Amino acid sequence: MLKTARAALIDDDPLTIQLPYVVDLPPQPKKEPQALPGQGKRILLHICCAPCATYTVKRLRELAFDVVGYWYNPNIHPFSEHERRRETLAQYAGEIALPVIWEPGYEIVNFMRAIHLRERFGLRCRICYRMRLTRAAQVAADEGFDAMTTTLLISPYQNQKVIAATGAQAAAECDTTFFDENFRRGWREHAVMTREHHLYSQRYCGCVYSEWEARDRKAVTRVERS
């Protein structure tokens, strides 16, 4: 086209030419907006602590879920720590208008019985995940939620693969659905939001063994049994 003067050279890199006439392009089909996965759905979010709820709630709302929090963490020791985390969540939930279902009581005895002779890291964690996610799935099914999930999925210190598998199994047993997403991509944002809201941020997962391991790198429970 350039040789026959049917077009003028505008630029060599990238090659750009100008035509002396108008070219009618076929109309482009309109792309229908994709429905968000949470559109019209209520999800029950098991919350381990307020800091982990920051990004997670934000993300679920971005996906158009109607989010309701759920508090059940029988692993947290001592009771004063349990209450401090619960009160921090209540404070944050009020700030972001998040309704929360609060499981009454403090079931540390049931947790300790469940992990007896299974105290090593990883092994006890699987039991802990199972306790909390099974109860969350039961509540989700009883209250008519479309799905359930957990803030545990945001932590780089937790076994995300095991959490997802445990959540999916618990949900299936209770005839509900587990929503699985890698919330870890929001870990840095979660830290920023935690500081912005002046939230208490704990230094260990929750149970007495995780507290011990956080203080003692040689704690005998740090290595999972084969």
Q: What is the pLDDT of residue 43?
A: 98
Q: What is the pLDDT of residue 223?
A: 64
Fold of 42-222: Rossmann fold (3.40.50)
pLDDT by residue, tens only, the chain of 226 residues: 666 766 676 666 677 666 676 767 788 777 777 889 999 999 999 999 999 999 999 999 999 999 999 999 999 999 999 999 999 999 999 999 999 999 999 999 999 999 999 999 999 999 999 999 999 999 999 999 999 999 999 999 999 999 999 999 999 999 999 999 999 999 999 999 999 999 999 989 999 999 999 888 777 777 654 3
User: Residue ranges of the domains in the chain?
Assistant: 42-222
Q: pTM of the entire structure?
A: 0.84
**DSSP character string of the chain:** -TTTTSSEEEETTTTEEE-SS---PPPPPPPPPPPPTTTT-EEEEE-S-HHHHHHHHHHHHHTT-EEEEEE--TT--SHHHHHHHHHHHHHHHHHTT--EEEPPS--HHHHHHHTTT--STTHHHHHHHHHHHHHHHHHHHHTT-SEEEEGGGG-TTS-HHHHHHHHHHHHHHTT--B----GGGGHHHHHHHHHHTT----SS-SSHHHHHHHH-TT-GGGSPP-
Q: What is the pLDDT of residue 226?
A: 34
